Structure 1
Amino acid sequence: MSSVIVSLLYKVTRKLLTVPSVLLRRGTAKEAELLVLRHENAVLRRQLAGPVRYKP
């Protein structure tokens, strides 16, 4: 019976510890995507001859 309790506590603890890592990973992925998009934007701006005009 005690091994079942220990196993349950272990599983609950593992789940609780993965929550912060998932939240941090989301932020990190978002930052990485922004970095890639900024770099892509800079490359595209260098390829244009004139000023950038944004159209709706």
Structure 2
Amino acid sequence: MPTPVQAPRANAYIERWIGGCRRELLDRTLIVNARHLRHVLATYETHFNTHRPHRALSQAAPLRPLPDPVDLDDKVTRRDLLGGVIHEYTQVA
């Protein structure tokens, strides 16, 4: 679908998401079939919206409030997603 004349930046947001998805995930993963692709994209979408920090939101995720300040005494744990392609880090009190 062509970009409407009245909104030349209409595709900028989805192009940014697709570019990030390709660089962070699809360039590092061998997709076997359509079912595998749907699973990988659903996992990445969940990670993107609930865990991954965004600069425009002051390092908060879109579906999560801003995190509390970091205390250097807390332990950090790592959870691997999609066989280690994506890493999620959380603090443990």
Smaller-chain TM-score bracket: 0.3 to 0.5
Larger Rg: 1
- If asked which structure has higher relative contact order (CA below 8 Å, sep 6+), I would say 2
Higher fraction of helix: 1
TM-score (norm 1): 0.42
TM-score (norm 2): 0.28
